[in-house]
Structure 1
């Protein structure tokens, strides 16, 4: 069957980062996404995975009145629109929500910005690192005594940005089924990054999170939630938080449980981490991966981007596919009756 969003028409005003990622997610799920590019834009490079799945492309010079009219005409039959310009740009072009809704009041108008449509910083430039920095997320990431470590641009651009814009568009479309009216979705990466931190803010409020880096259960301080180096120079992801899982890990490592009886005491964590580090350093990553395979010890190899598509579990699930000669993640999540064209192909 076609994807669950089959029949949904989306216009994407060309941009970079979270806007195209949002469009990719919608296209992955079956939406017909038309990308409106600037004149002279190069043809799609199949290696640019975030641009996959577009139904069509059109070249529009939005400084020309006739091309603005063409864009408005396309909006008349679209279900949703994605734009990622700074606040006020689309209004100045004659393509703001009021102009578009005058032609199609049912259209859902998705706006992707870093700082949002209003606020003192709304018109400032920024990137992922700035948005996650202001939201409190970046401060919590990294090793103690070192500067905060950027988690690529996954938290602001893609998790807090593109994915939440896709969610907002779909929510507005669902509401449209009741009201018959479209609306504007204001997706700001700084808002999204803050939202992703909701569980951590909850832990802070309950006194279960200490300010600073590498002082808490999930930030690399605990011996049972960190990465460890192996004899070969590779690394393992170690996360047996629960007592039974931790005990299973110790048995495979050949370490006595009584040496870790007080493992929830942060004062003991440095000594316990050193003990675990010494044990993991005695063998290679792949030797440990084989030893922990099929167990509940929550110890798995840390794979490179070149290695991950070859992992037996990911191969069995089809988590990666080769499309146009490019290895790339397949669409997620999965549906019992509907499949994306990429996954089916």
Structure 2
């Protein structure tokens, strides 16, 4: 098994959410991750804690701060997820660490970033994605914004952006001998994830309203439909041949007479499709479209997803300690 980060050493300061997720990514890719937690406190467990070395320190004690600096001096990078100023007050801020290790990459994960009017205020994922435009864009027409779990802020716009930034900075440090600070803010990351939508909006191709666009559930060919048994299918037949295959599969080929991208027809088309889909169970529809290019998939729950044949074939989940957990992604294979 290829582990592309083998030989990389990361020091992680224990916390919650996106920074531990970032540490998990590094560990799964083969990096040595040393996680520093508070003495006397149980470290958070679960999938995000996988693959670490654990060191318990009391950072209010000068000798334990010195031990932390010793660990940092041997690492390629440090990651932390505290509010701005916390690490400095502990004597472990960027300048103190740089004095011991000029090539160190110092990764900082926060919601609002290291500077700005909100930098020192409390917040959570929902707050960070609210000011990025992302939260506003998710939901049904005329309805409330829908919280997309904490995927957009904490993990997509936070932990993954931090991981990308730290790896980029490590490459720079190895080439130049100079470290740097990586300021990963979830507000920035969530906004970056919205780049395509902002581009569409600037080009006049995206309405600044929920549920009225191509990719937000507004299009009848890119949304979910409820089935007779209460299950759901996801339909994503954007391209005309796929759309035609879907309409043929549900016995509604006459809808092809209406221009697919003409939004004036979308409500009527969606209503017709809803009436058809609700006549059969979810798995009956899945079987009907098996092997086709109609882009129809079952909407699976957390208990179902690990058992889907495709996920099973790829080993997308692993069963450990009595529970299913997602496996490492992406995969790496050697050239033949």
Q: Deviations for 1:30-64, whole angstroms, at most 9, x for unmatched residues?
A: 0010110112222564xx1111111x101111111
SS at match of 2:204: coil
TM-score, with structure 1 as normaliser: 0.95
Pairing of 1:82-231 with structure 2 (within 5 A): 82-231=79-228
2:262 aligns with 265
Q: Deviations for 1:208-254, whole angstroms, at most 9, x for unmatched residues?
A: 00011111111111100100000110000001011000000111111
CA distance in structure 1 between the partners assigned to 2:255 and 2:111 by the alignment? 50
CA distance in structure 2 between the partners assigned to 1:183 and 1:257 by the alignment? 60
CA distance in structure 1 between the partners assigned to 2:126 and 2:255 by the alignment? 43
Q: Does 2:20 match 1:59?
A: no
Pairing of 1:260-299 with structure 2 (within 5 A): 260-299=257-296
SS at match of 2:325: strand
Q: CA deviation at 1:107?
A: 1.1
Q: Give the aligned length.
A: 335
Q: CA deviation at 1:256?
A: 2.2
1:24 aligns with 24
Q: CA deviation at 1:147?
A: 1.1
Q: Deviations for 1:118-154, whole angstroms, at most 9, x for unmatched residues?
A: 1111101110000100001100100112110000000
CA distance in structure 2 between the partners assigned to 1:317 and 1:257 by the alignment? 38
TM-score, with structure 2 as normaliser: 0.97
Pair 1:240–1:260, CA change in 2 (3 A): farther
SS at match of 2:106: strand
Higher relative contact order, chain-length normalized (CA < 8 Å, sep 6+)? 1
Q: CA deviation at 1:105?
A: 0.8
Q: Does 2:15 match 1:11?
A: no
1:50 aligns with 48
1:39 aligns with 39
Gap regions ≥5 residues in structure 2? none
CA distance in structure 2 between the partners assigned to 1:179 and 1:38 by the alignment? 34
Is contact 2:318-2:327 (8 Å) kept?
Answer: yes
SS at match of 1:221: coil
Structure 1 stretch displaced more, 69-78 or 259-268 = 259-268
SS at match of 1:227: strand
From 243, 247, 269, give the equivalent of 1:246: 243
Q: Does 2:310 match 1:306?
A: no
CA distance in structure 1 between the partners assigned to 2:65 and 2:228 by the alignment? 61
2:233 aligns with 236
SS at match of 1:20: helix
Is contact 1:247-1:257 (8 Å) kept?
Answer: no
Gap regions ≥5 residues in structure 1? 339-345
Pair 1:302–1:58, CA change in 2 (3 A): same
